[in-house]
Amino acid sequence: MQHDVIVIGGSYAGMAAALQLLRARRRVLVIDAGQRRNRFAARSHGFLGQDGADPGEIARTARAQLQAYPTLDWVEGTASAATGAKDGFSVTLADGAGHAGRRILLATGVSDQLPPVAGLAERWGRTVFHCPYCHGYELDRGRIGVIATGPMSLHQAKLLPEWGEVTFFTNEALTLDPEDRQELTRRQVTIEEMPIARISGDADVVMRDGRELAFAGLFTASRCVPASPLAAEIGCEMMETPMGIQVQTSSAKETSIPGVYACGDAARVPHSVSLAVGDGAWAGAQLHRSLVWPDD
């Protein structure tokens, strides 16, 4: 069967796009591998009407609502290849199954490359975060440690005093120039240049000199890379952002390959559930437009 749109990635962005298309009675296939970026977090904050909800529950509710539309097909699995061109794409799953579609939407998200600090990855989404708007409030103005990964960390260290008293660990990832030091001092940030040995307890930082500093939470600017190699493999132009790598799109969310669209974390910065949903809804409408008026 020929689908109007094959949505690869059935999380917030992909489902928001699919919803618009289904409501326009278009045939949509969603292929989803079930690896949401926020699966490490028990609560999602800042999404209107769902503040503090379980992020898995938000996704399950959305999926159940999508499945009420008769023109939806949903496949659990990983899309491993896409060939063809506008109006005649073919998407292959890792298990070998093939699906035909007139358009493709990549809503495949990003994955977070974390700094190689012992004990940090295990605490990702629990006491180690990247987004102050998502997880800052719950720290209740407690002490915050910022672990540097590069230039973005400086921005985190300067912003986070809005949520609590900040210690900035440069951890050999960054050298501070005098203006940075001055601004950090003005923001009452404590600068620690001794490297970190490991994280222990809830969010305690053990320094290489043996000191142990306790925090309510830690922040680190992860590097965001595409969660799926698909966009790059099929030749979509990619671009560097201060947060990592994303798929480049037009304002209508079309990639450099005609008929292939991209939305959500995979194709915009900054990142949040709200922004992914908004970007997805917009991509859905733009995909619909391209099906109604293919020559525009």
Q: How far is the CB of 195 from ligand FAD (least distance, A)?
A: 24
Q: Which of 17, 41, 104, 189 binds ligand FAD (CB under 6 A)?
A: 41
Q: For residue 118, what are the β-bridge partners? A: 198
Helix ranges (H only) for 67-147 are 132-135
φ, ψ dihedrals at 7, nearest 5°: -95, 120
Q: How far is the CB of 72 from Mg ion (least distance, A)?
A: 15
* Cis check: omega of the bond before 132, within 30 degrees of 0: no
The CB-side HSE value for 278 (13 A sphere, CA atoms) comes to 10
SS3 (DSSP) at 78? coil
Q: How far is the CB of 150 from ligand FAD (least distance, A)?
A: 18
44 binds ligand FAD (CB under 6 A): yes
Q: How far is the CB of 47 from ligand FAD (least distance, A)?
A: 5
Cα separation, 168 vs 145, in Å, equals 6
4 binds ligand FAD (CB under 6 A): no
Q: Which of residues 183-212 bind ligand FAD (CB under 6 A)?
A: none
Kind and range of the H or E run holding 74: strand 72-76
Q: Which of 4, 32, 192, 254 binds ligand FAD (CB under 6 A)?
A: 32
Interaction mask 65-104, ligand FAD, x per CB under 6 A: -------------xx-------------------------
Q: Which of 18, 28, 31, 152 binds ligand FAD (CB under 6 A)?
A: 31
Q: Which of residues 209-238 bind ligand FAD (CB under 6 A)?
A: 227-228, 230
In the complex, the residues that contact Mg ion under the rule CB under 5 A are 9, 11, 13-14, 107, 264
Inter-residue contact 167 to 156 (CB < 8 Å): no
35 binds ligand FAD (CB under 6 A): yes
User: How far are the Cα atoms of 10, 234, 243 from residue 152, in angstroms, in the given order?
Assistant: 29, 30, 7
Inter-residue contact 231 to 267 (CB < 8 Å): no
Which of 3/36 has CB closer to ligand FAD? Answer: 36
Which of 236/273 has CB closer to ligand FAD? Answer: 273
The CB-side HSE value for 59 (13 A sphere, CA atoms) comes to 20
Cα separation, 7 vs 266, in Å, equals 13
Q: Which does 40 bind (CB under 5 to 8 A by kind): ligand FAD, Mg ion, none?
A: ligand FAD
Which of 3/184 has CB closer to ligand FAD? Answer: 3
Interaction mask 231-270, ligand FAD, x per CB under 6 A: ---------------------------------xxx----
Inter-residue contact 30 to 15 (CB < 8 Å): yes
Q: What is the DSSP letter of 124?
A: B
The stretch among 4-12, 115-123, 140-148, 167-175 that binds ligand FAD (CB under 6 A) is 4-12
SS3 (DSSP) at 121? helix
* Cis check: omega of the bond before 258, within 30 degrees of 0: no
123 binds ligand FAD (CB under 6 A): no
Could you tell me the strand order of the sheet in which 223-226 lies? 110-113, 223-226, 244-247, 238-241
Where does this chain bind ligand FAD (CB under 6 A)?
8-14, 31-38, 40-41, 44-47, 78-79, 107-109, 112, 124-125, 131, 134, 227-228, 230, 264-266, 271-274, 276
